[in-house]
Structure 1
Amino acid sequence: MALIRALITTILLFLSLVCTAQISKAGDSVFSLLKKQKIEIDRQLSRKSPDLTVYVKIPGRSKLVRVFHEKWPENLEYTYNVLRDKSGRIVLISQSPFSESGDWDITYKQYFDEHGNTLAFERVTGFFNSGCTMDDDAAHEAIVNYYNANFKSIYNSYSLMDSKGKKLVKSKCVFPYNFKNYKIYANLADCLKAYNIPL
């Protein structure tokens, strides 16, 4: 009887390991696909695509104002970029608060799949007065989260470096600005509504 129990336990353990390995491989392939989609969207954004629409939030106004030909209003609180793919589907929305001092900049990017679900979120910051760079150089922090179709985080990455790409030690840096007051939306509809972006 003890031999049969040991055999059953061994078989169950083996099956558990096989299932875990298969789930891990499936997760890796989902992550690879999401990463590929994000890279393609970033490429499109870097090419200054004609499919990019820019809006700004002006103090005292609830409606966003569209920016044409880089003619920016004098006072603004936020800049929003809306990027569409070739079929006209929105694939990215970014939000950048305006820094009056110029001591920091930050961009929150939400990436969307063909169903309007969030596939990735990226927070990119640049700031002075970090205490961990040479010659008062800016520190640059990037956080990227990838999500499956159920909006479950499946992978994330973090980097902190100076303007020359040298890695910085987080514990040696001072973070004088609060960049944690943001929300990650599960889908395009929620993001559009929260940012009050017109279609």
Structure 2
Amino acid sequence: MYVFYNNKGIGDVLLIPLKSAQHAKFSMETYKDVVRIIDHETNEVTGYNLFNASKYLTELENGKIKLDQNLLEQLKDIFKQNQVNGELDIDLSPKFVVGYVTDIAPHENADKLRVCQVDVGAEQLQIVCGALNVDKDQKVVVAKIGAVMPSGLEIKPSNLRGVDSFGMICSQKELGIPDAPKEKGIYVLPSDAKIGEEFAI
């Protein structure tokens, strides 16, 4: 997960996105320098804005900043200073990981979909995939539940024509990789890629 800082573009504000926006209407709660952003229809917290960020965090660099445990603890302390109600509860486990397709089967209700069993290290995921080039014994990039794609799409549990799916096997284009092939298909990784290891995007 990343947070974003662009002092020249938007000012001394740290953007902390938690979920992709599902609706256009938002409500906001202000706690001194912290603003909580809430989806008006679902009532879910979609993120926070920390104003005067450089007052609290030294050595902020412009661009996207990986949210690690150390930065998360600093943010929790900042939220306490600003008397923000509720905990800043963020899962820092990797959301984009190397997966290994252990099994693949036809989808019973859709000719163009296949049901994949994918080992992502700590667990096995069932993922429905429509890519023509997906196959057994491939190492692939998996976006797990909770991942937010470069497009802003949030990966959620889904049911595709009667079959549950818990993640997405990604293409280079979906991952925002520069010069991604124009041909459709998943990104097949080299055989030496380590199952369960984080894939940085």
TM-score interval (norm. to shorter): under 0.3
Q: TM-score, normalised by structure 1?
A: 0.28
Q: TM-score, normalised by structure 2?
A: 0.27
* Structure 1 or 2: more strand by fraction: 2
Q: Which has the larger radius of gyration?
A: 1
* Structure 1 or 2: more helix by fraction: 1
